[in-house]
Structures are given as C-alpha cells and as structure tokens.
Structure 1
C-alpha cells in the first residue's frame, strides 16, 4: 500500500486523472473550486514524504546529472534575474491586470513541478504500468461523457469566460497521458486503438496542435518499433473502422470548424492563425531590434497581453534574449537527445518508447505551436535525469531492479 504513494502512482493519478477531472468539474460549477497548484504541490509533497526523498537523492546526487543540474540552476537563475530586473524597473500589467512578473514567475513554478514530477513519472511508468492505463482510460471515459455531439466538442459552456484557454491545458495533459499509454503497450494491435481514441478526444478538446503532433509522434515511433509493413496492415484496418465512425457522425460535422480547417489551405478567416501570424511578425521585430537581450516588455507594450508572444521556440529569444534561447536548446533539446541515445537502437523498451514519443511531441509543439510558457517539456528533463541516475545498462531488467530498491 505504501508503494502506491512512494513509487509515483498516487501523483500520476492526481496529474492525469483526478486533477483534470476536478478542474473541469469545478469550473463547470459541479464541485468547489480548488487551486490546482496546491493540488499538484500537495501530491508531490505526499509522494516525497512517503518516498523519504530517496528518488530525489538518487537523481540530484548522481554524478551523471551534476553538470546538467548546474546548467539548469544557471538557466533558472537567469530567467529569475531577467524577471526581477524588469520588475524593479516597472512591472507592466496587461488587460487582465496581471503583472509580467506574476505571469512569468507562475509559469516557472509550474515548470519546476513538471521537472520534479518527471522523476516519479519514470518510476510509475516502469513499476506500476496499470496506473498509466487506468488514468488514460478513466479520463477518456470522462471526456466522452461530456461531449456535446451537436458541436463534436467537450462541453465548456459552463466554464467562466476568463478560463477560455482551459481546453489547451486539458488537451496537453491528456496528450501526455495518451502517449504514455500508447508507448506502454507491448503489442501494436493494442496501441493503435488507444491512439485512435486519444485522437478523437483531442479533436473534441479542440486542440489542433495536440491532436496533430500526438498523431505524428506516435506514428513515427510505431514505425521504428514495428516497421512500415506491420503498421500499415494493422493501421489500415483500424483506420477503416475510424472512418466509418467518422462518417456516422458526418451530419454533425461543422466543415467550417477550427479543427477541420487544418485540412484546408484557406486560413483567411482563421482568427487563431491570423493572430499567430501577427505575433510572429512583431516578435521577429523585437528580436531584430535587440538580438542580445530580446524584448521582454515589448509584448505588453504592443498588445497589452502577455500571451501575444511568438508561438514557437523563438519566443525564448524574444523574451529572454540569445542567452536564454541557447540555454533552452542545450537543456531541453540536446540533453534529452543524447541522454536517451534516441536513435542508437531499433528495438526500444516501453520506457524508451514513451520517452522518445514525448521528445518528438514536445519538439513538434515547440517548433510549430508553443512558447516559453510551455511548461510540460520540463517533464522530459525530469525523466532523463531519473533515467541517467537509475539505469546502469540498457537492459530494461536492470532498470527495474534499480528502481525497485527500497528507500534507505
């Protein structure tokens, strides 16, 4: 029973099952509101106490991890320094009356949670695989029960307008849970149905990038593991079933919806696309005007909105300058690539399959759709730190043995 709290399943369920369901239910008026930061923090604290800090000691005292940990501390200190200096010279507030320091510091705190969660994420994924499927299937059923079939989307009509971005957070968390379940399947015939269900839920959550990049990352990794012929043969059968289901709902499909517009070439009336195009143009101006330091406060000055940044990886350069951008590339792109040795073997263990798929998914998101506030990529760094601390060889059996050691 204690292992449920110490090895990660409790925290995993809070993040991928209870948390999203409670958040949606509370904002819909069904349950009392609760601060999600407190819920996540309490879950992490409970896990840390029952684990007696053993996982953290293994990870942060590992000689393999010390260089990247020091670099991560320098990176975080640099972000805080930029935030503090701009706060000291006048903290700009946007149209929602939120200050820059509050906005950016909050996301940095969220990022550290996902970093710490990555340590226990690896343990839960390796030793308690049942929780991966339970969280995914349970959350899928919940979302299916809350689909508005008139619009083929999750019903957010009762959510207050100020939480208009709720669907993005729910979609990101669900996409990670979906990828974890797909990668944890031992057989291809099990992973494809999970992927199709996940894509359907992400479609209903109205997140184009989460749906598209979950598909791209999952298919790419399945090709590596199973080969082209096996994936095509089984995938075609499931795609046929999916097409029949889609056809059965064709009368309810809005061909002008934002989700279906990704299959067209006309974005002239796509508000999201046009906004991002404007943010891209103005963001490049911010970078070119000050390539060294970027334009930390220019976003609010131009748009009166903290969210008007470039929606890709260049936003780090836009906000934190060239140093912040290069540090981010080193820690979040190069480090996971070399730590996991992503393309050194053809047959990956289930853990390595999940890590590779997440690496691709986060990379796609950062290159094409997300920004410096994208906290979920810190999860992969936590996984890689734990991976290096626990894994003595590339044998999954040895990893299981190292993870199963009881705390001292």
Structure 2
C-alpha cells in the first residue's frame, strides 16, 4: 500500500463512510419495484443487491477516472482537507434526504460537495467547467427523461403483447423478469456509483503525493469501495425504498420489469462512456415512465414534484455545506477536527430523528407519510322523506243554543 499520512487516512475513511451512505441511500434504485410487487422479500432483495453491487465495482474504472481527473483539476493545488470538506457536504445531504424519504442523487451530492469546497479553497480554476457540463449536468437532465420514455414505451408494449395471455402466468413470468432486471440494475449501480468513491480516494492519494497523477485506482481502493457500498446496500434504505416503490405510482410486475430493464440499459451505457450520472434519477424516471405507460395507472405528481425539487437543490445544498466545511478545515488541524465533530453531531441528530418514525423491512410497503392518499367519501345521502300524516284542521262547530 502507498505511503499514507494521517490526514489522507481520515479522508479515505470519510470517503468510505460516504460510500456506505450511498449504498443504503440508493438500495431503492434496484429493489424498490421488486419489493413493492412482492417479487422478492425485502431482506432477500437487499442481500442480493449488496452482492451484485460488490461484483459491479470490479467491472470498470471509467467513472472513477472522471471523478479523479475530470471534474476537479488535480494540479490546481487541491489539498486533502478540501476533499474531506466535500465529502462532509455530501454525507450530510445524503442523510437529510434519506430522513425525508426523498430519492435524491448521492452522485450529485458528491459532485456538489467537491465543487463547493474546491471553489472556496482554490477558486474556479480548480474545477473543469466543461467536464461538469458535459459529464454531469447534461446527463442529469437527459438521463431520467430518456429512461422515463424508454420505460413508458416498454410498459405500453408489454401490456399490449400480454393482453390476451393468462394473467396469473404472465404475472409469474414478470416477477422472474423483475428479479433478473433488479440484479442487472444492482450490477450497474456498483459499476457506476462505487467508482465515484474510488475516484475520490484516488484523488486524495494524488493530492497527497501517494500515487502519480492520472493513475487508475489501486486494487485495495476498488476492494474497499466495493465492500463499503455493498454493506450500505445490505442495511437497506427502507425510507427511500418505500417512496420509490409505493409513493410514485402503484407498480404491477410488468411495470417493474419495464422500469428496471430501461434503467439498467441507461446506467450501463453511461458507465461505459464515463458519464457519472445519477442512478437515483435514472431509476426514478423509469418508475415514473412506467406509471405513464400503464393505462389507468395513477401517478402521484406531487411526489414527483418533491423529488424534482430535491434534485435541483442537491448540487447547491451539498456545495454550500462543503464550502463552509472547507473554510473551517482551512484553519489547520483544529479546523479539521472541528469539521469532523460537527459532521458527527449532525449525523447523530439525523439518526435520532429517524427513530421517531422508523421504517424497516416489515412496514416498507406501507404508503409513505408524505403521500396524502385521496379518500373516497360517499356524499351525504339526501334525507329520506318521511310522510307524516297531518291532521286536517278541525272545523269548530258553533254551539247550539
């Protein structure tokens, strides 16, 4: 292993903590639809996803190169403290959105954190603006739209082809297809998202002089990043699984199969090209598209609006937290310790808040609290007419005198 200083060691540990949060934050990407339709039991689903995330981490390093040498300029004077601050911003935003049950992008939280910390510590020269636009922003806009359109078309085609088939037989087949496609998404997630942490650790090693510039991630970096994201996935981000599986639309097996297949195709294609897109946005777009593609399905657009707002806030919010952390960390060892203590306190507070209304494997398929389910209330029946006999007014007779 390369010579590693204490500060770089802290950065590596923090990067692996982020990777762990990325795992449980994004478990829903692969398994939300599979769990919501009952194709797999919740704990079996997250275990399967964890194993395939680990395998996927070894398939490519193209996205890692985008992080370590594409978005941030290695030679601009970036120090390990800056990377540490960027990771803190990403972790805090990840946990806040997890607490709210919102499937925001762990990838964009990481990008926002690194960019915000770099802008404060080095200035605009430390960020490759063209790479940010081409490999982050454009995929962020296009990928969920492409995935949604693909899922909508696949869902319509699936229902059209199966309209004369036996419903029970096709449901069983689609559940098997869901399991296979969920495995493919998990593999793709490991290929794309685990590499982001590999890229951050490699960037820290380069800035600390432990490895030469433009190096590929060392083997121990690949193993540790893959293991961290797999462990996080196994923990299961039940809050976000509930939102994606139940909160966007009611998912039937054909929809789940179509959504996951479309998402996997987009993610694997982007990983091959080196686009560090958000698997969360791709999978959310696919689920939304599957709801649009199914005739008569209800799409909860209010939830989609909240998700869109969270996506728009992710880069600036994580960047703002990271910028503040970078200013504090720049004060030396005392500043780094202060950032670590504040970050730990924030994480502990978020975890404590999550215990008030816990979400776990046994209640993950309940409707999320943030969804207001319309209640069909029968109109008040018209009051029944009661025929009350009315006595005719008696005619008073004059007394006979």
TM interval, shorter chain, is under 0.3
Q: Give the number of the structure whose alpha-carbon radius of gyration is greater.
A: 2
